[in-house]
């Protein structure tokens, strides 16, 4: 097995959340049974909120705004919608080392290296899931900290050591849509996107970069089957 064995699926238009969940459930079962290759699925969703296993109901500030789905992944509330690249990661950790922490670190590294290619210094923060961008030009927080905006969210689930759910990266979503939730339960800091940061990046640009950096990050853990 190597990274070239991973199937890349790119869906045009918007994919409904329940449809995506059904596809992932079936594909993960097939991967675990040795009946299908690993897959990375790139798509966009219509506007919706998802609740992870740690979601707190008080963090859903506007429950009537968009459909809300129980995601059954790690994490809290997230927003998905047009202009956001969702990356569903269906990889077999039986073949890549059964180390959840290392796998999440790989996902973080994958996002950070991809953003670096566009001149963005994405960063990880202890106690704050996802990838963050410092915004020193914004007013500081009351405690004097520099404000930071989230550009990517990460939340996964494993079944028989095969991963599903994954990553979302904000390319050009409607950032105001995030106001209906407390994203990932974190207050004080905000949300940003590639376009919000002044970068006219397209979905295609991002997809190409994701495929290139995936090879760099994950090839070292692709053991021979």
Binding-site residues for substrate, in ranges, read: 73-80, 153-155, 166-168
- Write down the residue that tokens 């800091």 correspond to: 189
What is the distance between the alpha carbons of residues 168 and 9, in angstroms, rounded to a whole number? 15
Instruction: Give CA–CA dist 54/75, Å, rounded.
Output: 5
Is residue 184 annotated as a catalytic residue, yes or no?
A: yes
Catalytic choice (184, 201, 206, 210): 184
Q: Report DSSP letters for 120-181, one per residue.
A: ---EEETTEEEEEEE-TTSPPPTTSPPPEEEEEEEEEEEETTEEEEEEEEESS--GGGGGGB
What is the C-alpha to C-alpha distance for residues 107 and 73, in angstroms, rounded to an integer? 15
**Separation between Cα atoms, residue 89 and residue 38, nearest integer Å:** 8
Question: Are the C-beta atoms of residues 110 and 91 closer than 8 Å to each other?
Answer: no
Which sequence positions are flagged as catalytic? 184
């Amino acid at each position: 097995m190597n990274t070239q064995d991973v199937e890349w699926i790119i869906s045009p238009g918007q994919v409904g959340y329940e449809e995506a969940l059904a596809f992932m459930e079936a594909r993960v079962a097939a991967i675990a049974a040795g009946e299908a290759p690993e897959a990375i699925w790139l798509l966009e969703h219509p506007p919706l909120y998802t609740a992870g296993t740690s979601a707190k109901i008080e963090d859903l500030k506007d429950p009537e705004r968009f459909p809300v789905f129980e995601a059954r992944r790690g994490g809290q509330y997230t927003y998905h919608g047009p202009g956001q690249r969702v990356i569903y990661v269906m990889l077999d950790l039986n073949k890549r080392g059964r180390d959840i922490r290392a796998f999440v670190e790989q996902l973080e590294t994958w996002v950070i290296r991809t953003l670096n290619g566009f001149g963005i210094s994405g960063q990880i923060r202890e106690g704050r899931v996802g990838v963050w961008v410092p915004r020193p030009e914004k007013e500081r927080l009351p405690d004097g900290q520099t404000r930071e905006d989230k550009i990517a969210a990460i939340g996964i689930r494993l079944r028989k050591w095969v991963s599903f759910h994954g990553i979302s990266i904000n390319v050009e979503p409607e950032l105001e849509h995030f106001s209906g939730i407390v994203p990932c339960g974190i207050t004080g800091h905000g949300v940003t996107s590639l376009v919000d940061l002044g970068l006219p990046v397209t979905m295609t640009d991002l997809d190409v970069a994701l495929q290139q950096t995936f090879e760099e990050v994950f090839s070292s853990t692709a053991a021979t089957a």
